């Protein structure tokens, strides 16, 4: 794995030999397209949209290595995306702007930066990929792999973007087979890569949070093996592995905490973990124009971060809730 990581960080990954039968093409730096004959499914797998979230990058590198070695033979049209390469090389979340807030055209109104340019490029290559696939809408998938800034009571979880089109039961079967601990359903549009792919291409798109962000070489890679096996089953058409954990916990975003003032305060200790359950009536956050108080139902906090720029989300309050295949109902 280390030689491939070195190749990625030194811009030489496109030199990797790949089977000619897959018609490999590098559509942009760090964006690899593979098209086997007679594919009936189209899958995008992305990692490194945040450059310091390295375990998903290593997981994606393992997929590329297995394909190059001939031990993994995709049966699907496949787009493998290494997102923010300069940030990976600098071991930073991003260089100028959070790229995962710039999709869906938001890069056009953002200040000029590497992240804005790269978000536009990833939108274009993803559109080209789906434009040339024969896979029907119900067989278009996207798995955007991340790791979280802080620890979590549910270490591995999925964030399903708001969607008006149907998500299939097979999609939730995949999340269960990946041994995820929880699934969170968004209820508003967003600027993430997964939301863009879901909305624009009617794909079964999801953000996967696979643990805590660590530098290259410091990840406990065996803990990501179930996700790797589930992804391999998806792209080869093999049966999904059987889940070994208790059932998945399901949540719905009840409210987003948007920071609009430099006087914003978040009333949580730094060590508070994602999915911490808070008491009803607790003032979780405040700024001059409003306060956020925990309700009887939406008691779990996700992604609390007082340090975000004004205008961005500083956390989400979650309520327990079963998944819905379509939020347009």
Residues with a known catalytic role:
209
**Cα(10)–Cα(5) distance, rounded to whole angstroms?**
9
**Cα(219)–Cα(213) distance, rounded to whole angstroms?**
8
The answer to whether 186 is annotated as binding is no
Complete DSSP assignment for 4-43: HHHHHHTT-GGGS---GGG--EEEETTEEEE--TT---EE
Q: Which of 240, 220, 35 is nearest to 130 (CA)?
A: 35
Q: Which of 36, 32, 29 is nearest to 11 (CA)?
A: 29
The answer to whether 146 is annotated as binding is yes
**Cα(198)–Cα(163) distance, rounded to whole angstroms?**
7
Residue 196 corresponds to which tokens in the numbers above? 């863009």
Complete DSSP assignment for 39-104: ---EEEEEE-SSTT-HHHHHHHHHHHHHHHHTS----SEEEEEE--HHHHHHT-S-SSS-GGGSTT
**Cα(57)–Cα(50) distance, rounded to whole angstroms?**
10
Residues listed for the chain: 329
Annotated binding site: 50, 53, 146
Annotated binding site for Zn(2+): 50, 53, 146
């Amino acid at each position: 794995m280390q030689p491939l990581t070195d190749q990625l960080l030194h811009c030489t990954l496109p030199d990797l030999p790949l089977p000619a039968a897959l018609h490999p093409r590098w559509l942009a730096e760090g964006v690899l397209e593979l098209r086997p004959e007679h594919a009936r499914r189209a899958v995008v797998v992305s990692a490194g949209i945040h450059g310091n979230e390295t375990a998903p990058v290593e997981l994606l590198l393992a997929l590329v290595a297995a394909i190059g070695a001939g031990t993994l033979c995709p049966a699907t049209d496949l787009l493998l995306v290494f997102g923010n390469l300069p940030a990976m090389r600098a071991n930073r979340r991003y260089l100028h702007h959070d790229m995962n807030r710039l999709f869906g055209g938001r890069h056009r109104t953002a200040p000029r930066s590497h992240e804005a340019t790269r978000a536009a490029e990833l939108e274009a290559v993803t559109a080209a990929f789906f434009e040339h696939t024969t896979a029907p809408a119900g067989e278009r998938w996207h798995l955007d792999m991340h790791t979280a800034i802080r620890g979590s009571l549910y270490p591995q979880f999925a964030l399903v973007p708001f969607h008006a089109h149907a998500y299939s039961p097979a999609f939730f079967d995949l999340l269960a087979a990946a041994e995820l601990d929880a699934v969170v359903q968004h209820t508003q549009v967003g600027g993430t890569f997964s939301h863009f792919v879901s909305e624009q291409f009617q794909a079964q798109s999801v953000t996967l949070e696979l643990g805590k962000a660590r530098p290259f070489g410091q990840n406990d890679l065996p803990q990501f093996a179930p996700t790797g096996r589930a992804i391999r089953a998806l792209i080869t058409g093999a049966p999904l592995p059987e889940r070994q954990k208790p059932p998945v916990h399901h949540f719905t975003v009840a409210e987003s905490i948007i920071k609009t003032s430099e006087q914003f305060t978040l009333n949580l200790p730094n060590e508070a973990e994602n999915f911490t359950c808070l008491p009803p009536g607790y003032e979780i956050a405040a700024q001059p124009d409003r306060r956020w108080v925990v309700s009887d139902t939406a008691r779990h906090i996700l992604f609390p971060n007082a340090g975000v720029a004004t205008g961005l989300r500083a956390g989400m309050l979650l309520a327990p809730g079963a998944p819905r295949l379509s939020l347009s109902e």
